[in-house]
Amino acid sequence: MSAVAKKKTKTAEIKPWINTLAYWFSATDRQLDLGLRTTLHCAVTGDKPAFFLPPDMANNQPDNLSYLHRLAAGHNCRLIEDRRSIDIKPLIEQRSDGVSPMMQATIQLLQQTGMKGRNIKPAFPNRLNDNGIHVPLPELIDLAVRVVEDGKRVVVLPNPTLVELLGGDTHPIIGYAANIHAGDDRVTVAYFDSPKYRAVGYRSGNQYVNHVLLGGGPAHKPEVWAAEQTLLESNARFQLYRSQKRSFDMGLLSVAQFINL
């Protein structure tokens, strides 16, 4: 077979989803501007998911609000822009054991994939230990691209808690993990991928830091990646990253989980 024929019959390589996310980030300055960060709460109003926003975003965070309007418009979500008169309790406080289904699902997934720890449980409070290694999320996404290329690959079926969280989705979850350099430190980075669940995380000493990626993308085409049920279990952080072209500003809606090992 000639070289030309071989070229014609070669199957085009499909890039992993995380590569696309890293590509979007490459156009931004990646700076964490606190003025471009927002905490959102989600609930159902009138049979539609709704994001409850901080008050007076139109004046205080107009760019964030503009991005979230585009996100909501494209995915049949409501935005409720003033929650001062609405009693919204964090979902985690509504559960007798204090552990949300999203946290339970993550812990069970880590156990399924062989994460070692004598007593894996949620960190309280939900934050990085004082001596922990901090890896900014854009950098962690870049590391995940390398892990997909060179790391160990496993395929697991979602546990029952995760299936419920994903609205009944039972697609296998592909996990990747590798020890990799992050600055001056060497950490274990993991990436989980399925049609309705995407998360990237790393081990920092006796903690695992996990970021569940719910939605985002460039400002001209924001998307929701998670199942509706997942959104309803989320008190999420939204961060807007600047680009030289405003239409390519990058937004990311995610939940940070800190787990003691």
Triad 49, 166, 102: Cα angle to 5°: 90
Choice between 261 and 7, residue whose per-residue pLDDT is larger: 261
Assigned token pair, 251: 């937004």
Contact criterion met (CB below 8 Å) for 226 and 196: yes
pLDDT of residue 88: 46
pLDDT of residue 174: 96
Q: At 168, which amino acid appears?
A: G
Share of the chain above pLDDT 70, in %: 88
Assigned token pair, 115: 């994460």
How much is the pTM? 0.87
Pairing of strands 207-218, 37-45: unpaired
Query: What is the Cα–Cα distance from 31 to 183, expressed in whole angstroms?
Result: 17
**Tens-digit pLDDT profile for residues 233-248:** 778 999 999 998 887 8
**Tens-digit pLDDT profile for residues 95-111:** 445 688 899 999 999 99
pLDDT of residue 13: 55
End-to-end CA distance of the chain: 55
Confidence of residue 227 (pLDDT cuts 50, 70, 90): confident
Place of tokens 């680009």: 243
Place of tokens 């503009």: 66
Check pLDDT > 80 for residue 94.
no
Pairing of strands 250-260, 185-193: unpaired
DSSP 162-215: HHHHTTT----EEEEEEEEEETTEEEEEEEEE-SS-EEEEEEETTEEEEEEEEE
Tell me which residue of 90, 164, 151 sits closest to 126, measured CA to CA.
90
